[in-house]
Amino acid sequence: MANLKFWSSSKISGRSGWPRTPPFAYLATLPTILVVLLVVGFPLAYSLWLAAHKSNPIIKKTKFVGFDNFLTVLSDQSFWNAFYNTAYFVGFSLVLTTLLGIVIALVLHKSFSGRGFMRSVMLLPWAMAPVTIGILWSFIYAGDVGTLNALLHDIGLSAWTTAWLGDGNRALTLVSLTHVWNQTPLTALLILAGLQSMPVSLHKAAMLDGAGPMTRFFKITLPWLKPTLLFITIIATINALMAFDIIWTMTKGGPGESTTVLAWLGYVYSFKFMKLGLGAAMLYILTALSFCLAIIYVLVLGPRYSKQNKTASIDVADSGMSFRTPRPHTTQAPALKRPILSPEARKVLSSFGLWVMVILIFMWSAFPVLLLGIMSITPPSDLIRIPPSVIPSRLTFENFETVLFPGWSGSNQTVQGTSPEITVLAKRVPLSIKNSLIVGAVTVSIALALTPFAGYAFARWPRSRAIQAGLWGMLFTRMTPALVLLLPFFVLYRIIGIDDTRTGLIVAHLSILLPLFAWMMKSTFESVPRSLDSAAKIDGCSHFQMMIRVMLPVIRPGLMAAAIFGFLVSWNEFLFAVVLTSNPQTQTIPVILSSFLAQVRYHEYGPMFAASVVSILPPVIVAFVFQRYLVQGALSGAVKG
């Protein structure tokens, strides 16, 4: 018993147990916190103000109405219609992304040659901009000349061709399915990370204990993944609730109101009907809904903490070894069973099954993307011929010439079926690429300059109350959907005169990237041992020198990951861009793509697909070349969109 006292009282890291927070910690977080307050906190407060007022934008009069806007929204029939559509959309995508994600992750967790390549392929639908996805799939489902109809026609099933998005119920399902296609890689990625963190010995032990593959999956893999699944459920729900880009590009809420979800309705109220108060109220209801669901998930699926204290370790050495329960009975080992199939046969069968799954995953992920590529090098006239066909008559790069070098093709040759007023849009593509690059680069640079310091403080002084408050603030802003910020940005930008500028768009993108980056930096620094900080200080560094000379170089992979991930987020971002910019000098590539769609009746499909391919180039390059960084970024930042 002698040592009991000494061992048991040795827990130093008690709740109150950390040294005081140095001023450096506050200084490090301050810039990030201030900017976030400015670009998120203030607009949020303003939109809350909007939600409590009735405003008339024409006579510029506002009146305080309290909760009236909320009550009006809740008593609106179209709200409840949208509510049911949203419930269907969310339920459908949640179930399907989770099931598909688990299957894909399990397959890509196996080792086979080409696994790295397949992981990159798997990521494609998620790395692409939702706008591009919407364009691609809306053309696939299109009524007259759509790819699906063309395919049916080619294989002699002309009778089955139909306007796929024409029927209300089917349209909602197809839009949900497109969302599933976009979001499944994220789920698969997170589950894959969960699988990789699972100790191998766990499965080996279960195998020796006689558990078959199914038992092991349900009794070991699934319980191990439970925290991951909880997280995925929350993320997937929020992403589905806030899905906007795909609706915008594919159906615009139609036909009728059959694909009008809450996010779309809030957008329509605010920006079509200019009922800012109602729109803000609706978006707040949507936000509240996502928070409530998140809380419910945590309560239902979350970890249960037992209240038991950990008991002090027992002093084994002094206790002797005389007290033993005799063994009650000996269990008989089960007789060895002869397997039905020979080991060789099973090997062949399982490898065959694996390759079937791999090919299916490849087709699911890559086929639509390849289709987009083919359509971009198909002559525009092929895409609108009747009867439709998927087989191009010839291959050409003229679409790319049109969008990348508009001056060129205009003077050298006249593209068939291209009238002068159509190329106006194509001419904007190079400029929009430049805008996208500038906005992405500047946003990422600002975020990278500020957030490592904040992330460092978040990681190193998690017990300081002020730092904790900042961290919770970041979490809250990260969970707050961009939709809610859209309205105040729109109004405030007009007031301060940065509407329709790249600056305005950069500010808007910062509202997404800053909380995301702060979080990523925090988890990056958490993996850096504290002894490195101490070593740097002892070797003569001030806090600031330590950051510059030691910490930033050490976390360079994390910075790379954040930069690449953040650039993609900005490059793909559509909602802010489409609402906050309206002139070609400031519009980014997703906005131009969506304008192609608005003019779809002019049959400018060729340039549209070429521009789409250009827009997915950065995501595709990242998915294949920087897959590691993309995955790391997604896992540490987890996750926007």
Instruction: Give Cβ neighbours of residue 552 (< 8 Å, ≥ 6 apart).
Output: 452, 559
Q: Does 532 bind other proteins (CB under 8 A)?
A: yes
Instruction: Give Cβ neighbours of residue 296 (< 8 Å, ≥ 6 apart).
Output: none
Q: Does 219 bind other proteins (CB under 8 A)?
A: no
> Least Å distance between CB 493 and other proteins?
42
Subset of 19-38 contacting other proteins (CB under 8 A): 19-20
Which of 479, 518, 463, 446 is CA-nearest to residue 33?
Answer: 518
Residue 63, H or E segment? strand 61-64
Considering the complex, state which of residue 10 and residue 311 has its C-beta at the smaller distance from other proteins. 10
Q: Does 553 bind other proteins (CB under 8 A)?
A: yes
Stretch that binds other proteins, among 265-273, 351-359, 397-405, 528-536 (CB under 8 A): 528-536
Q: Does 538 bind other proteins (CB under 8 A)?
A: yes
Q: Does 459 bind other proteins (CB under 8 A)?
A: no
Q: Does 321 bind other proteins (CB under 8 A)?
A: yes
Place of tokens 């910062």: 510
Number of residues that bind other proteins (CB under 8 A): 39
DSSP state of 15: T
Candidate residues 23, 199, 303, 320; the one interacting with other proteins per rule CB under 8 A = 320
Pure H helices in 242-307? 245-250, 262-267, 276-301
Q: Does 4 bind other proteins (CB under 8 A)?
A: no
Considering the complex, state which of residue 76 and residue 315 has its C-beta at the smaller distance from other proteins. 315
Exposed, middle or buried, 514 (CB in 10 Å: 0-12/13-18/19+)? buried
Instruction: Give Cβ neighbours of residue 15 (< 8 Å, ≥ 6 apart).
Output: none
Candidate residues 535, 548, 617, 621; the one interacting with other proteins per rule CB under 8 A = 535
Considering the complex, state which of residue 214 and residue 321 has its C-beta at the smaller distance from other proteins. 321
Q: Does 527 bind other proteins (CB under 8 A)?
A: no
Stretch that binds other proteins, among 117-125, 474-482, 500-508, 532-540 (CB under 8 A): 532-540
Q: How far apart are CA 304 and CA 285, in angstroms?
A: 29
Candidate residues 6, 159, 335, 343; the one interacting with other proteins per rule CB under 8 A = 6
Considering the complex, state which of residue 156 and residue 320 has its C-beta at the smaller distance from other proteins. 320
Instruction: Give Cβ neighbours of residue 60 (< 8 Å, ≥ 6 apart).
Output: none
Pure H helices in 377-419? 380-383, 398-404, 406-412
Considering the complex, state which of residue 14 and residue 407 has its C-beta at the smaller distance from other proteins. 14
> Least Å distance between CB 237 and other proteins?
39
> Least Å distance between CB 6 and other proteins?
5
Strand partners, 53: 64
Which of 251, 305, 283, 311 is CA-nearest to residue 490?
Answer: 283
| Cβ atoms of residues 393 and 155 within 8 Å | no
Q: Does 311 bind other proteins (CB under 8 A)?
A: no
Candidate residues 294, 437, 541, 560; the one interacting with other proteins per rule CB under 8 A = 541
Q: How far apart are CA 146 and CA 528, in angstroms?
A: 52
How do 61-64 and 53-56 pair as beta strands?
A: antiparallel
Instruction: Give Cβ neighbours of residue 347 (< 8 Å, ≥ 6 apart).
Output: none
Stretch that binds other proteins, among 306-314, 392-400, 480-488, 550-558 (CB under 8 A): 550-558
Q: Does 3 bind other proteins (CB under 8 A)?
A: yes
The residues of the shown chain that bind other proteins, judged by CB under 8 A, are 2-3, 5-7, 9-20, 317-318, 320-322, 529, 531-532, 534-542, 545, 550, 553-554, 556
